[in-house]
C-alpha cells in the first residue's frame, strides 16, 4: 500500500488520540470542580459524560472518590433529581457531546395510558414554551428531552405496546413527541449560540412526510452553521455600547466645560447622545426580558453601525424564536387535538407512570 | 493487461453494501489500482456518496410494467456493464433485490465464460449482518454466484455492526458456509465504525477521501461536535479504515503489466 496513505491514517489516529486525552482532561477538570456528592451522583447513574474519560483519568477520579470522599455517597442526589444544577458558566466543556441516555435497567413501566402521555407532553410543552423566557429553563428542558427519548425507547422495546405505537394514529403521536423533543434540542442550541445544523436536519427527518412543517424551518437555514448570538452576549454587547456612549457623553461635556468645544456643536451632539442613551436603556430593559423584537425596535432611530449590527442580531434571534414558538404551538395543537379524538385506553391497563420529575413552575 | 472486477451484492438491504463498496474503492486506490465505480441501484446510493460524476449509474432501464411484459428489457441495458468490466477495473455495487436480476442476466449472457476468456479476474463480496434474512440472502447469493462465475473468488464479509454471529454456530447456515469454505470461500470480519460522527458522515454522504481531507473545524461545524470531539471522531474513523485496510488489503490483487 502507498505508505503516504498509511501515514495519513496514522496522523489522523494520533490526532484523535491526543484530542481524546485532552477531552478526558477537560472532563476530569470539570468533574473535580464539582461537589463530592455530585460526582458520586454522576458515577452511580453512569452519566454519559464519563464515557469520554480515559482509563487513567477514570482511575484517578475513582481513587479520589473512594479513598477521600466515600462519605459523600450518602448525600448524592436521589433520582430523578439532577446530579448537577448548571448555569451557562458551569456547563461541561463544549468539547463534550450531548449524549442521550438509554432507559435505566430495571425501569419498570406499566402500559402508558394517553393520560400519562398527556402529562409527560404537558411537561415538555410547558418547558418548551418557557425556554424562550427563562435561560435557567434550558437545562431543565434538556433533561426533559432526554427523559422523553428514554421513555420513547422504553416504549418501543415493549411488545405489548409496539403494536399500538405502530398504528397510524400512534405514529403521528410518536412523530409529534419526537418533534417536541427535537424542537427542545434545537431551542437549547439557539440559546447557547451553538451551530444547529444537525438539529435542523433531525427535525427535517422527523417531518420527512410533513413538507409544510419542514418548510417552516427554512428561515433558520442561513444561521444553522454559525448559530445565533447567545442572549447573554447580546446583553453584554448592548451594555458595552451604552457604556461607550456614556464615556463619549462625559468627554463631550468636559470639552464643553473647558470651552474646548463650540457650544453650537456641543448641543446637537449632546441631544443625540441623550436620545441614544434613552433608547439604549429602553432596549436593554427589553432585552433583559428577552423581548428582542421590542429591543431592536427601540433602537430604530439610532444611526450607528454598532447599534445597527446589534439590532440585526436581535432581530435574527427574535425571528428564530418566533419560528420555534410557532412550530411548538402547532405540534402541541396537533397532539392535543389527536388525543381528544383518540379511543379510550385498554380496560385493565394500569395507569402507573414512571417516576418522571414534575417541572417546577418558573418564577 | 487484464482487468479486474469486484461485485458487492446481497438481496437484503441495509447490510453495508455501499459502505463496503466505498471502502474497497478507497483501498484499491490507495494500493495503486483505482476502480471505476458502477451503481446498479434504483436508489443510486453510491452516486450519492461519491458524486454522480464519478459513478456510472445503471438502472433497470425500463418501468416495472414493461419489465413484467418483457423481462429481457433489463438485460440489454446491462450489456453496458459487461463492456465496462471488460474495459477497465471496476467496482459494481448492486442494490438490494437487484442480485437476482443481475445473476439471471449474467447466466443468460454467459458472462462468466466471457470473463475467463478475456482474462478478467473477479471477486464477489457478499456482506451480511447478524440477522437471519441477511445471512440467508447472502448464502443464497454466494451459492448462485459460484455456479455462474465458477472462476471467481467469493468473499463473505461478516458485518458486525448489528451484533456478532455466534448464534449461527452449528446451524444449517453454518454448514452451508463451511461447504463453500471447502470450495474456496473466504470469510472476513468487518467491525462497525465507532466514530461518534459516523451517523453524520453517512447522513452527509461523505466518502473516506473527503472525511480525511476535512479539518477539525469543518467536521465540528458539520456535525455539531466540539473541536476536540471532532478530532477524536475523525481519529476513530481513521482507526476503523486502518482496521479495514488490515482485513482486506491482502485481497487486493497486484496490478500486472
pLDDT, tens digit, for every residue of B156-215?
A: 999 998 888 877 777 788 888 889 999 999 999 999 899 999 999 888 888 888 899 998
Percent of chain A whose predicted confidence (pLDDT) is above 90: 14
Q: What is the 3-state secondary structure (H, E, C) of A234-290?
A: HHHHHHHHHHHHHHHHHHHHHHHHCCCCCHHHHHHHHHHHHHHHHHHHHHHHHHHCC
Query: How many angstroms away from the CA of A312 is the closest CA of chain B?
Result: 23
Identify the CA nearest to A148 among candidates A175, A111, A172. A175
Nearest CB to A9 within list B203, B228, B238: B238
Q: CA gyration radius for chain B?
A: 19
pLDDT at B197: 92
Average pLDDT of span A147-153: 57
pLDDT at B91: 93
Give, in degrees to the nearest 5, the angle at Cα B53 between B157 and B91: 25
pLDDT at A151: 55
pLDDT at A109: 40
Chain B environment of A186 (Cβ under 8 Å): none
Query: C-alpha grid cell for residue A351?
Result: 395507569
pLDDT at A112: 44
- B33 prior amide bond cis, ω within 30: no
pLDDT at B67: 64
The answer to whether the beta carbons of residues B223 and A7 sit under 8 Å apart is no
B32-87 pLDDT, tens digit per residue, is 889 999 888 766 677 777 777 888 887 665 566 666 677 666 666 677 888 889 98
Chain A environment of B200 (Cβ under 8 Å): 198
Average pLDDT of span A143-158: 57
DSSP state of A40: H
Average pLDDT of span B229-252: 93
B76-to-B61, B67, B101, B111, B186 alpha-carbon distances in Å: 9, 12, 12, 13, 32
Q: Which residue has the cell 416495472?
A: B64
Q: What is the DSSP string of B185-233?
A: -EEEEEPPP--TTHHHHHHTT--HHHHHHS-HHHHHHHH---HHHHHHH
A1-to-A14, B156, B245 alpha-carbon distances in Å: 20, 23, 9
Q: CA gyration radius for chain A?
A: 26
End-to-end CA distance of chain A: 65
In the stretch 193-212 of chain A, residues with CB closer than 8 A to chain B read 194-199, 201
* Nearest-Cα residue of chain B relative to residue A98: B225
The answer to whether the beta carbons of residues A123 and A356 sit under 8 Å apart is yes
Select the more confidently predicted residue: A129 or A279: A279
CB contact under 8 A, B235 and A2: no
Identify the CA nearest to B3 among candidates B125, B89, B90, B61. B89
CB-based contact, A9 to chain B, within 8 Å: yes
Confidence class for position A352, pLDDT limits 50, 70, 90: very low
CB contact under 8 A, B238 and A26: no
Mutate which of B213, B216, B228 to test chain A, going by most A C-beta atoms within 10 A? B228
Chain B environment of A19 (Cβ under 8 Å): 216, 227-232, 235
What rounded mean pLDDT belongs to chain A? Answer: 73
Largest CA distance in chain A: 90
Query: How many angstroms away from the CA of B85 is the closest CA of chain A?
Result: 24
The answer to whether the beta carbons of residues A258 and A161 sit under 8 Å apart is no
Chain B environment of A194 (Cβ under 8 Å): 224
A193-to-A171, A291, A330 alpha-carbon distances in Å: 32, 17, 25
pLDDT at B241: 93
* Nearest-Cα residue of chain A relative to residue B252: A1
pLDDT at A123: 52
ipTM: 0.82
CB-based contact, A304 to chain B, within 8 Å: no
Average pLDDT of span A230-250: 85
Percent of chain A whose predicted confidence (pLDDT) is above 70: 66
Tell me: pLDDT of A152 over 60: no
Tell me: pLDDT of A19 over 60: yes
User: Could you give the CA distance from residue A352 to residue A111 in angstroms, rounded to a whole number?
Assistant: 8
The torsion region of residue A85 among left (phi > 0), alpha (psi -120 to 50) and beta comes to: beta
The answer to whether the beta carbons of residues B176 and B143 sit under 8 Å apart is yes
Tell me: pLDDT of B128 over 80: yes
CB contact under 8 A, A197 and B221: yes
Tell me: pLDDT of A282 over 70: yes
Q: How far is CA B238 from the centre of its chain?
A: 20
User: Could you give the CA distance from residue A10 to residue B18 in angstroms, rounded to a whole number?
Assistant: 25
User: Which residues pair with residue B56 across a beta bridge?
Assistant: B38
CB-based contact, A17 to chain B, within 8 Å: yes
pLDDT at A148: 56
Instruction: With 0.80 as the threshold, say if the pTM is over it.
Output: no
Average pLDDT of span B245-256: 86
Select the more confidently predicted residue: B77 or A330: A330
Confidence class for position A273, pLDDT limits 50, 70, 90: confident
Select the more confidently predicted residue: B236 or B97: B236
Amino acid at each position: 500500500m502507498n505508505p503516504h496513505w498509511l501515514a495519513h491514517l496514522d496522523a489522523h489516529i494520533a490526532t484523535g488520540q491526543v484530542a481524546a486525552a485532552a477531552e478526558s482532561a477537560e472532563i476530569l477538570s470539570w468533574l473535580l470542580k464539582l461537589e463530592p456528592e455530585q460526582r458520586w451522583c454522576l458515577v452511580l447513574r453512569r452519566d454519559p459524560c464519563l464515557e469520554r474519560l480515559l482509563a487513567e483519568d477514570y482511575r484517578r477520579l475513582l481513587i479520589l472518590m473512594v479513598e477521600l470522599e466515600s462519605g459523600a455517597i450518602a448525600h448524592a442526589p436521589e433520582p430523578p433529581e439532577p446530579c448537577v444544577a448548571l448555569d451557562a458558566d458551569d456547563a461541561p466543556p463544549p468539547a463534550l457531546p450531548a449524549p442521550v441516555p438509554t432507559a435505566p435497567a430495571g425501569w419498570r413501566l406499566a402500559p402508558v395510558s394517553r393520560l400519562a402521555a398527556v402529562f409527560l407532553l404537558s411537561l415538555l410543552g410547558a418547558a418548551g414554551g418557557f425556554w424562550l423566557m427563562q435561560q435557567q429553563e434550558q437545562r431543565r428542558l434538556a433533561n426533559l428531552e432526554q427523559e422523553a427519548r428514554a421513555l420513547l425507547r422504553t416504549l418501543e422495546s415493549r411488545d405489548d405496546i409496539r403494536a399500538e405505537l405502530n398504528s397510524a394514529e400512534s405514529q403521528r403521536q410518536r412523530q409529534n413527541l419526537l418533534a417536541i423533543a427535537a424542537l427542545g434540542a434545537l431551542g437549547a442550541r439557539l440559546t447557547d449560540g451553538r451551530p444547529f445544523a444537525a438539529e435542523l436536519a433531525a427535525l427535517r427527518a422527523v417531518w420527512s412526510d410533513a413538507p409544510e412543517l419542514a418548510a417552516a424551518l427554512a428561515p433558520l437555514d442561513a444561521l444553522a452553521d454559525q448559530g445565533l448570538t447567545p442572549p447573554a452576549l447580546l446583553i453584554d454587547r448592548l451594555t458595552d455600547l451604552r457604556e461607550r456612549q456614556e464615556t463619549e457623553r462625559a468627554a463631550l461635556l468636559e470639552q464643553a466645560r473647558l470651552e474646548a468645544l463650540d457650544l453650537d456643536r456641543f448641543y446637537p451632539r449632546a441631544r443625540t447622545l441623550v436620545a441614544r442613551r434613552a433608547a439604549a436603556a429602553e432596549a436593554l430593559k427589553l432585552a433583559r426580558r428577552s423581548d428582542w423584537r421590542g429591543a431592536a425596535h427601540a433602537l430604530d432611530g439610532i444611526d450607528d453601525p454598532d447599534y445597527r449590527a446589534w439590532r440585526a442580531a436581535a432581530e435574527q434571534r427574535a425571528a428564530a424564536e418566533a419560528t420555534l414558538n410557532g412550530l411548538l404551538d402547532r405540534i402541541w395543537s396537533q397532539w392535543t387535538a389527536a388525543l381528544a379524538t383518540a379511543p379510550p385506553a385498554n380496560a385493565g391497563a394500569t395507569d402507573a407512570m414512571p417516576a418522571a420529575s414534575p417541572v417546577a413552575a418558573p418564577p | 493487461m487484464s482487468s479486474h472486477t469486484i461485485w458487492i451484492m446481497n438481496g437484503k438491504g441495509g447490510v453495508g453494501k455501499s459502505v463496503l463498496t466505498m471502502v474497497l474503492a478507497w483501498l484499491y486506490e490507495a494500493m495503486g489500482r483505482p476502480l471505476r465505480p458502477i451503481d446498479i441501484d434504483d436508489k443510486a446510493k453510491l452516486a450519492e456518496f461519491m458524486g454522480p460524476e464519478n459513478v456510472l449509474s445503471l438502472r433497470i432501464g425500463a418501468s416495472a410494467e414493461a419489465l413484467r411484459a418483457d423481462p429481457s428489457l433489463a438485460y440489454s441495458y446491462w450489456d453496458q456493464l459487461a463492456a465496462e468490466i471488460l474495459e477497465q477495473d471496476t467496482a459494481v455495487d448492486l442494490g438490494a433485490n437487484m442480485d437476482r436480476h443481475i445473476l439471471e442476466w449474467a447466466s443468460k449472457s454467459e458472462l462468466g465464460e466471457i470473463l475467463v476468456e478475456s482474462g478478467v479476474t473477479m471477486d464477489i463480496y457478499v456482506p451480511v449482518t447478524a440477522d437471519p434474512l441477511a445471512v440467508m440472502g447472502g448464502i443464497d447469493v454466494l451459492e448462485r454466484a459460484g455456479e455462474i462465475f465458477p472462476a471467481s473468488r467469493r468473499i463473505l464479509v461478516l458485518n458486525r455492526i448489528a451484533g456478532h454471529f455466534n448464534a449461527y454456530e452449528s446451524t444449517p447456515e453454518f454448514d452451508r458456509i463451511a461447504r463453500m469454505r471447502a470450495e474456496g470461500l473466504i470469510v472476513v470480519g468487518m467491525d462497525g465504525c465507532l466514530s461518534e460522527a459516523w451517523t453524520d458522515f453517512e447522513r452527509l454522504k461523505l466518502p473516506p477521501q473527503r472525511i480525511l481531507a476535512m479539518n477539525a473545524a469543518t467536521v465540528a461545524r458539520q456535525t455539531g461536535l466540539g473541536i476536540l470531539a471532532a478530532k477524536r471522531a475523525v481519529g476513530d474513523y481513521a482507526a476503523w479504515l486502518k482496521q479495514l485496510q488490515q482485513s482486506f488489503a491482502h485481497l487486493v490483487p497486484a496490478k500486472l503489466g
